[in-house]
Chain A
Amino acid sequence: MKASRMMKLLFLLTSLTLLLAACPAAVPAADSGSGADDEMTADFKVGLVTDVGRVNDRSFNQSAWEGVVESAEALGLAEDDIKYIETQDAKDYTDNIQQFIDADYNVIVSVGFALGDATTTAAKENPDVFFIGVDQFQGENIPNLAGLIFNEDHSGYLAGVLAGSLSQTGTIAAVLGTDLVPPVVAFNEGYVAGAQSVNADINVISTYHPGEISQAFVDPEWGAATAKQALDQGADVIFGAGGITGNGALQEIATADGAGETVFCIGVDTDQWNTVPAAQPCLVSSAMKLITPGVVELVTMASDGEFPGGNYFGKADLAPFHDFDDMIPQELKDLLAETKAGLIDGSIDTGYGN
């Protein structure tokens, strides 16, 4: 009958939908289960659990995974000894971590602030496994759990010095993800302090996304419209810090009048020249967290048996200026180098957390 044929089609479509939704999570998970039990302890295995999103997100997940790949090369691990699981939904954090524990992985990297609780719990239950929590501040010291964290206020401060020096109008802005996530606040406060250090009268206008965590970083149109709003109010350097939301801000400024000449943008987390090519017309630099080298250091230490529990600070820095290199005066470059040195030796205080 015709109707039953249509029912089959419907069934097919529905299963296709489910398959598409479940696909990335299911494949590596299925791989990691097989062949893991028979070989036992001889080799060293590293697993990574992403935050909701893909491993090639050109942001946190990707930087952390590159760190795992790099450390695997350095330690001479086989390709099979490193695996990742892409988290599809926040409620799967614990299960995804557990999959690696069940398959006898030695090091488990969990990426993102949101996985903090799940990682802490797993670390307490499994003292023999090393855990690396990217962007997870550690309130208590668990010997087999290292939180790879960054002084976001430091790279924010450098971005602020850059923005304050470039600004002609005396107004700069920041378009930010939510203030529910402490690193975002740190970026902003560092940015404000840095800008004020070069121009005490500077007017810094900043806004946070009004939504909750699950929306605040994935709303590019809000970022774009807010960037436009800031431009309307005379801001000429805008710091976009908030995942895809921030990317929206960068892309908006890249198409504004005077982009790259009188109006500039500064990216965040990674070198966004590479991650958001559409922002290149205005992107002078990015306030980076160097996640990849941080992960490499921690994985290497774990394999050497010198794993540091508690908080482990990665490096924070500005990305290269790329095409804007000729536009940045040498004095400003010197000032930025001095500032960076001052932040590292502690002679400059960003004021964050005081």
Chain B
Amino acid sequence: MSKNAPVSVFHRLRKRYGNTMILALLLVVMAILVNLTPLKEQTWLRVLFGISALNFTLRMTVPLVLGALSGILCERSGIINIGIEGMMLAGAFAGFVAKTSTNHWPLAASLIFSVAAAMAVGGLMGAVHALFSIRFRMDQIISGTVIIILALGATSYLYNRDAIAEGKFSSIPIPGLSQIPVIGPILFDNPPITYLALIMVVVVHVGLFYTRWGLRTRAVGEHPRAADTVGINVNLYRYVNTSLGGMLAGLAGAFLVLEAVGQFQEGMTAGRGFISLAAMIFGNWNPFGALAAATLFGYTQALQNELLLAGVTQVPRQFISMLPYVVTIVAVSGLVGRVRPPAAEGKVYETEGSA
């Protein structure tokens, strides 16, 4: 990392995400205005910017952004990961099992242990996916599908309906910041995995673009032959990254069980892994892009609910639920901006002479 890294980080962020940042700022200003002034009497403004809508948005965003980061880690190193859904579900189940078997422990210890278990099992699923894809040269789409079916079958087979997880993560208000009106209760009064997810966005971004590990990961995903030539162990990077990705998906599962719902239910990921994939693509395989996409997806879900809660039914909510997918299709078809997957994605890498 060079000495002026922080400055150049900011510069590059502004260049790449200038519009997104302006939008975010606008949203914040509107949220403050609407919730603190008589403007909140306006149904439409409350639907769009009310605190409950924004809280809901963040809550929906967390598993999506973790799933998308999981995808980014895998795909940046050249492994397609469509099994995020399965890794998430396996992580959720592992977290639940760990929580129910440590109910007698102090709450914090039991929860932290369960998060670790969820991430470990998610990582294991990632490692299995890497093994299938690299060692056995299996089609990566098929391998990902196997991961999903395996997770769905195994978790519902093993799930004990009588088990109850006692307690879940509660909010930790950040001193000072949580006192800010409107912004405080939305952003700075959340349970720990939510904070962790937002921190992970920055960590993955810095990791991918400002460290040696990140440079090598990207090299492996773009041009493995060149990476190999300069002495990078291509497949090792792929194993490590896919396992790390699995751990992040496991963390998303832990969020669902240990922070959001508090219990496990069969198939509880309900397609979030697939929406994460869309967020990853829409975000152009960049962590901040994925965060923006996940937030957009979460926000449209919040809007549908708010419209119904407020009794506004003139707008068919189906149109609003279509919005993120329409935007994704437009983005992927290249109309909004160029999205480009890593060049060597999905291709098995074999060193010369081994094939």
Interface residues of A (CB under 8 A from B): 6-7, 10, 13-14, 16-18, 20-21, 23-24, 53-54, 56, 58, 173, 205-208, 210-211, 215, 218-222, 224-226, 228-230, 232-233, 244, 247-248, 251-252, 255, 277-278
Residues A229 and B55 in contact in the complex (CB < 8 Å), given A221-B256, A251-B261, A278-B262: yes
Residues A228 and B261 in contact in the complex (CB < 8 Å), given A17-B146, A215-B270, A233-B309: no
Q: Which chain A residue has the least Cβ–Cβ distance from B138?
A: A10
Contacting residues, chain B, for A211 (C-beta < 8 A): 270-271, 321
Contacting residues, chain B, for A173 (C-beta < 8 A): 309
Kindly provide the distance from the CB of A326 to the nearest chain B CB, expressed in whole angstroms. Answer: 24
Contacting residues, chain A, for B261 (C-beta < 8 A): 220-221, 224, 248, 251-252
Q: Can you list the 6 inter-chain pairs with the closest CB atoms, starting with the nearest?
A: A20-B153, A232-B52, A219-B270, A21-B153, A207-B308, A205-B309
Residues A225 and B59 in contact in the complex (CB < 8 Å), given A10-B136, A17-B153, A218-B267: yes
Kindly provide the distance from the CB of B49 to the nearest chain A CB, expressed in whole angstroms. Answer: 13
Give which listed residue, A58, A205, A225, contacts B161 with CB less than 8 A: A58
Residue B63 at the chain A interface, CB threshold 8 Å: yes
Residues A225 and B309 in contact in the complex (CB < 8 Å), given A20-B150, A20-B154, A233-B52: no
Interface set, chain B 33-57, CB cutoff 8 A to A: 50-53, 55-56
Residues A278 and B263 in contact in the complex (CB < 8 Å), given A17-B150, A21-B149, A215-B270: yes
Residues A226 and B51 in contact in the complex (CB < 8 Å), given A23-B157, A220-B263: no
**Mostly helix, strand, loop or mixed at chain A's interface?**
helix
Give which listed residue, A23, A53, A207, A219, contacts B309 with CB less than 8 A: A207
**Can you offer 28 A-B residue contacts whose CB atoms are under 8 A?**
A6-B135, A14-B146, A17-B153, A24-B157, A205-B311, A207-B305, A210-B304, A210-B318, A211-B270, A211-B271, A215-B270, A215-B271, A218-B265, A218-B268, A218-B270, A219-B268, A222-B60, A224-B260, A225-B60, A226-B56, A228-B52, A228-B55, A228-B59, A229-B56, A229-B305, A244-B266, A251-B261, A251-B263
Q: Encode B79-117 as 1/0 by CB contact (under 8 A) with A.
A: 000000000000000000000000000000000000000
Residue B152 at the chain A interface, CB threshold 8 Å: yes
Residue B210 at the chain A interface, CB threshold 8 Å: no
Residue B156 at the chain A interface, CB threshold 8 Å: yes
C-alpha spacing A53/B157, complex, angstroms:
11
Q: What is the size, in residues, of chain B's interface with A at 8 Å between Cβ atoms?
A: 51
Residue B132 at the chain A interface, CB threshold 8 Å: yes
Contact A6 B305 (CB under 8 A): no
Kindly provide the distance from the CB of A277 to the nearest chain B CB, expressed in whole angstroms. Answer: 6
Interface set, chain B 240-276, CB cutoff 8 A to A: 256, 260-263, 265-268, 270-272
Residues A7 and B136 in contact in the complex (CB < 8 Å), given A21-B153, A218-B270: yes
Q: Encode B176-194 as 1/0 by CB contact (under 8 A) with A.
A: 0000000000000000000
Contact A228 B56 (CB under 8 A): yes
Interface set, chain B 134-157, CB cutoff 8 A to A: 135-136, 138, 146, 149-150, 152-154, 156-157
Residues A6 and B154 in contact in the complex (CB < 8 Å), given A221-B270, A225-B56, A225-B60: no
Residue B295 at the chain A interface, CB threshold 8 Å: no
Contact A10 B132 (CB under 8 A): yes
